[in-house]
């Protein structure tokens, strides 16, 4: 958090008088934006990392995300199936049940030149989801 203050004083007619200082507003806005960004970054770091499967072709799996997201050759990820959506009788809200692991993939290479078009090619090392519908499948860090 940041603070911005200005002081002025006058004794027996001598001293200074404070006038409007626009830099105080700038400092206050800067401090507020900094607080919001720090909170947002903390919240994002608390979220579990996951990405989507773009395509399955035989034993090759194409996923979103590449080197700019820290994905490296040889890295192993879990392939997860989203949990079922159910409605709580107590609250009336929808709740997603926990996801289940259906396999594992190992990154063999990455492609793309920026965060917007990067991906990775992985091979299936565990599980049989090549023929499964991609709806509900996602990639996450291994749970083990």
User: Which of 67 and 41 is assigned the larger pLDDT?
Assistant: 67
For the chain, what is the mean pLDDT? 84
Give the residue-averaged pLDDT of 58-64: 92
| DSSP states along 17-78 | -----HHHHHHHHHHHHHHHHHHHHHHHHHSPPEEEEEEEETTEEEEE--GGGT--TT-EEE
Q: What is the DSSP letter of 94?
A: E
pTM exceeds 0.75, yes or no: no
User: Which of 33 and 8 is assigned the larger pLDDT?
Assistant: 33
**CA contacts within 13 A on the Cβ side of 85:** 4
Q: Six-digit token pair at 45?
A: 């770091």
* Residue indicated by tokens 């509900």: 136
Give the residue-averaged pLDDT of 51-62: 92
Q: What pLDDT score was predicted for residue 20? A: 62
pLDDT-derived band at 97, boundaries 50, 70, 90? very high
pLDDT at residue 16 is higher than 70: no
Q: What pLDDT score was predicted for residue 14? A: 61
> For the domain with range 50-140, which CATH number is right: 2.40.70.10, 3.40.50.300, 2.60.15.10, 2.40.10.410?
2.40.10.410
């Amino acid at each position: 958090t940041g603070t911005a203050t200005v002081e002025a004083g006058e004794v027996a007619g001598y001293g200074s008088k404070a006038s409007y200082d626009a830099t105080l507003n700038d400092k206050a806005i800067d401090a507020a934006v900094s607080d919001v960004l720090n909170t947002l970054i903390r919240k994002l770091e608390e979220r579990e990392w996951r990405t989507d499967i773009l395509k399955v072709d035989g034993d090759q799996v194409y996923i979103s995300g590449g080197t700019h997201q820290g994905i490296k050759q040889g890295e192993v990820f879990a392939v997860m199936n989203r949990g079922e959506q159910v409605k709580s009788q107590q609250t009336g809200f929808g709740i997603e049940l926990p996801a289940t692991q259906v396999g594992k993939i190992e990154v063999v290479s990455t492609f793309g030149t920026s965060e917007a078009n990067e991906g990775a090619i992985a091979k299936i090392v565990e599980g049989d989801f090549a023929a499964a519908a991609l709806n509900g499948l996602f990639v996450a860090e291994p749970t083990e």
